[in-house]
Structure 1
Amino acid sequence: MRISRSTYTRAKQRDPDWSVGLDADQIQRISFVLNIHAALRTVFDNPENVYGFPAMVNDNEFFNGRAPLEVMAQGDMISLYETFRRIDALRGAQW
């Protein structure tokens, strides 16, 4: 998400008086992650699949035996976008 570890740690404290500005790239990355989560919640009923799917090895042609998290962790926007597209297609989205 392009945030430092210290910023992440501070955000987890949920101090209502603290805020951080995000640039357009960071907002788009967060949007992809949230939309991936929404797609998984639509496709799967049980929490194990909703939360576990991104870490599961995937033999789909795009993933080639890698887990979606592994692909997203590469850090580039294309990997995040393509992961979103593949997961969104599970719920019937057409590209």
Structure 2
Amino acid sequence: MSTGLSNALHILIQWQCTPNQALTTLQLDPDQPFPLVLSEEQCERVTFVLNIHSDLGTIFDDPEDAYRYISSPHDDPYYDGKSPLELICTGDLTLFERVCWHIDAMRVN
């Protein structure tokens, strides 16, 4: 298993993802959850998880605040009353990418 995949799975656990949510988020096959080679899309998803985690670490001093942010619903129209984690766990790559961009934008503001 690649280090990136291992790190992404560890982060998803910290975010309180269920195993099924983690599989959906990273588009992993339940019959082979630890592939020897990741597809281009799986690599992109792993990168999104790592980037979101890093950005939240820059935005929040306390890791618990970062975990709360990712798992709490937000009134922000961007999230439409859902948590970033809910959007990520749908498996929709476009939503995942938008969450990543939104959190990255919070870092630079």
Partner of 1:34: 50
Please, which runs of 5 or more residues in structure 2 have no aligned partner? Answer: 1-25
Of structures 1 and 2, the larger Rg is shown by 1
Matching of residues 13-92 of structure 1 within 5 Å: 20-92=36-108
Please, which runs of 5 or more residues in structure 1 have no aligned partner? Answer: 12-18
Q: Which has the higher helix share?
A: 2
Task: Give the paired residue count.
Answer: 84
- How large is the Cα RMSD of the aligned pairs? 1.6
Scaled by the length of structure 2, the TM-score of the pair is: 0.70
Work out which structure has the larger RCO, using CA pairs closer than 8 Å and 6 or more positions apart in sequence: 2
Q: Percent identity?
A: 32
